[in-house]
A and B are shown apart, each in its own frame.
Chain A
Amino acid sequence: MNSMQGFWIAMARLGGGWFHSEWWRYWDCGAPLEFVYAPLVPCLERMGSRGSRNSCRRWLQTVSGLIYCLGPVTLFVMAWLLTRAPGYAFAAAAALSLLAVAVFLAPMLSLAPAFLDARRLYLMVVWDETPHMAALAMLRL
C-alpha cells in the first residue's frame, strides 16, 4: 500500500461519527475533521463499513473502483448535455477510459506505451489519486 491510502483508511476507521465536528489529531497538530482534506472518500468508506461486514480497507478499494467507473460516465453526461451529440460524447468518454491523453503533458514519459495503457488506473492505485478523481467526476456534473 502506497501513498495516502492508509491515511484514508485511518480517517474512516478513527473518524468516529463522521458528520459531527470532531478533532482530527493526526494531521497538522490537530484540525477540525470536516476541514481535513477531501472528506468524500473516507466518508464513503465509513458508511460502507458500517453498513456491511467489510472493513474500511476493503471499502477503500470498492469506493476507488466506483469512482474510477464514474469518471468517464460523468464526462459523457456533461459532453452529451452540452453538445446534445451522444455519439461524440461517448467517443470522448471512451477515449478517457482507454487512452492516457495526459501523458502529452509530461514529456519526460515515453509516450507511445503510456498512451495506450490504463494510466488512470495506475494513478489511482499506486499514487492514490482517488479523492482528486472523485472531485473531477463530481465537477463534471
Chain B
Amino acid sequence: MPTRYFAQASSASLFQSSVYGVSILWLLVRYLLHRGGIVTSASSTAWSGVTAAPRKPNRRRTNLNSRDGSMSVAEGWLEDIRRPFRSKERLRVPEVIRAVGYAALLLWLNAYVCREMFVRYTRA
C-alpha cells in the first residue's frame, strides 16, 4: 500500500500517542531494572540470553538471607517488611565500625558548624 502524508492521515489522538510514549518509557525502565538485576520482570524470558547482563551479587541480602545469592534487592526489601523486629538482630562488627565512622563524621560536621562556641567566648 502506498504511504500517504497529509493532515488527516494520522489516526492516533494526543491521548493515545501519549499513552504509547509513556508505555515505551515504562518498558525501558523495566528493561534497565531487569538488566541491573534489581527487579526480575515477567518478560525476562524474552530478554534472557540476549539482553540480561550477569546478575550482580547483592552483598547485603546475600549474606543475610539468601546463601546462594538468588535473592534480589527487591526481594530483600520485602523480607525487611515481613520482619519488623530487625533491631533485635545481633550487632555485627563491620556494621558497628561503619556506624562509629558515621557518628564521628556527624560529630565533626556539627563541631565545625558551631566551632566558635569552643574557641571564641562572649564577654558579657
Contact = CB atoms under 8 A, between A and B. Distances in A.
B43 interface: no
Q: Is the interface of B mostly helix, strand, loop or mixed?
A: helix
A73 B106 contact: yes
Interface in B81-124: 86-87, 89, 95, 98-99, 102-103, 105-107, 109-111, 113-114, 117-118, 121-122, 124
Contact of B89 (A84, A90, A93, A121): A84
A82 interface: yes
Interface string B54-83: 000000000000000000000000000000
Most chain B beta-carbon neighbours within 10 Å: one of A58, A69, A94: A69
Interface stretch (A18-26, A60-68, A106-114): A60-68
A73 B95 contact: no
20 contacts: A1-B122, A6-B124, A57-B121, A61-B117, A62-B118, A65-B111, A65-B114, A69-B114, A72-B106, A73-B107, A80-B102, A83-B86, A84-B86, A84-B87, A86-B98, A86-B99, A86-B102, A90-B102, A97-B113, A121-B114
